[in-house]
Amino acid sequence: MSDVVLSVRGLRIWYGTNRGAVRAVDGVNLDLKAGETVGLVGESGCGKSTLGRGVLGLLPEGSSAVGEVNFGGRNLLTISNRELRKLRGPSLGMIFQEPMTRLNPLLKISGHFEEVLKIHEPSIGKKETRRRALEALRGMGIPPTRYDQYPHEFSGGMRQRIMIALALVLRPAVVVADEPTTALDVLVEAQIIRILADLRANFDTALLLITHNLGIVAEACDRVAVMYAGRVVENGPAFDVTSNPVHPYSRELLKSTISLSTTALHSIPGAPPDLVSPPPACRFHPRCPDAMKICAAQWPPNVDVGGDRRSECWESARGDIPTGQDAPLEREALATSEEA
């Protein structure tokens, strides 16, 4: 598609450990269009942050990645580190969570902007650097009088807005935001969401928003990808997925969301699997309330369920299930699979 600015195909990312390879991302396909916000949701340990960092080539030593991350006609997994560093900033931006651990406490905010702009635009003068930095900060609601202050002189919400300004000062085409509202109160969270919406509207930026908050996804995202155990198990328009999820994991996540109408707490039994040795076939079947016999025996197909939505689940492909394999998986079988 002509408006797709970043296309991920068959992405696999492993971390080497003494126990074996941790398959944190295991065959993910994802597209980001210009001016679109895609929410990436799922429990902790499902590979969301690894996917975001893998797209930008920010993986630690001891990891490896294969597949395709196509941007500007090139596969980012095959270009040199030098070329990738040139793209990060002007073309590809990252908003990290926990801004206090990302901002240098010994460097004034002005110094952070000078460093970012000088690295990517060596010929830029001090006057232009200040103008660009103040313009970016003004867009985040940070007054120019705070430009020469240190990170510890700002509140958590203001530090997060400074992180966003640093990511946007070079006007990247794609931004990955990793839990940008973590540990912020609801009022500051709403401010951050408004800023991200303005970013998309004003600069046609493609945004990958990694979050646990399904409320944010429903409010701020165009599309949502639900991730479980290194796989995207459901992908589609945010309104459709949040109002009528088709994958059992998506349904269980939404049931666990607290709202004003909540009368009883709900949680998904068990925990995400060990990604060194994940369950055979469907990775969610040990925890799935709707698991069938085939779910523990064969990998589920990725099915087009209509309305520009896809679901990786046998429930969505009942017509292809052999006779007798659509019977409910007994609880004893679930327990045995979980132990395995």
For the chain, give the mean pLDDT: 89
Does the structure show a pLDDT above 90 at 42? yes
pLDDT of res. 216? 84
Q: Count CB neighbours of 16 within 10 A.
A: 12
Q: Which of 214, 210, 109 is nearest to 163 (CA)?
A: 109
Residue 123 lies in a domain: yes
Residue 272 lies in a domain: no
pTM: 0.90
pLDDT of res. 173? 92
Give 1's pLDDT tier (boundaries 50, 70, 90).
very low
pLDDT of res. 193? 81
For 175-215, the pLDDT digits (tens) are 999 988 776 777 777 877 887 787 777 778 899 999 988 88
Does the structure show a pLDDT above 50 at 163? yes
Q: Which helix (H) or strand (E) holds 133?
A: helix 126-139
Residue 335 lies in a domain: no
At 65, give phi and psi (nearest 5°).
Answer: -140, 140
Give 331's pLDDT tier (boundaries 50, 70, 90).
low
Name the percent of the chain lying above pLDDT 90: 65
Distance separating the N- and C-terminal Cα atoms of the chain: 42
Distance CA 239, CA 217 (A): 9
Q: Which of 92-106, 167-181, 263-277 has the weakest average pLDDT?
A: 92-106
* Mean pLDDT, rounded, for 94-98: 82
Cβ-proximal residues to 243 (8 Å cutoff; 6+ apart), any chain: none
pLDDT of res. 224? 97
Q: Which of 212, 216, 215, 173 is nearest to 197 (CA)?
A: 216
Q: Three-state DSSP class for 234? A: strand
Residue 300 lies in a domain: no
For 203-256, the pLDDT digits (tens) are 788 999 999 888 888 888 999 999 999 999 999 999 999 999 999 999 999 998
Residue 325 lies in a domain: no
Q: Three-state DSSP class for 210? A: strand
Length of the chain: 340
pLDDT of res. 183? 66
Q: Which of 47-51, 241-245, 311-315, 320-324 has the weakest average pLDDT?
A: 320-324
For 43-66, the pLDDT digits (tens) are 999 999 999 999 999 999 989 999
Residue 128 lies in a domain: yes
Q: Where are the beta strands (DSSP E) in 18-173?
A: 20-33, 37-41, 63-71, 74-75, 92-95
Distance CA 181, CA 191 (A): 10
pLDDT of res. 139? 82
* Mean pLDDT, rounded, for 312-338: 78
Name the percent of the chain lying above pLDDT 70: 96
Distance CA 254, CA 244 (A): 10
pLDDT of res. 241? 95
Residue 327 lies in a domain: no
pLDDT of res. 195? 79
* Mean pLDDT, rounded, for 255-270: 85
**Looking at the 3D structure of the chain, how many domains does it have?**
1
pLDDT of res. 2? 56
pLDDT of res. 24? 96
Domain range enclosing 137:
104-162
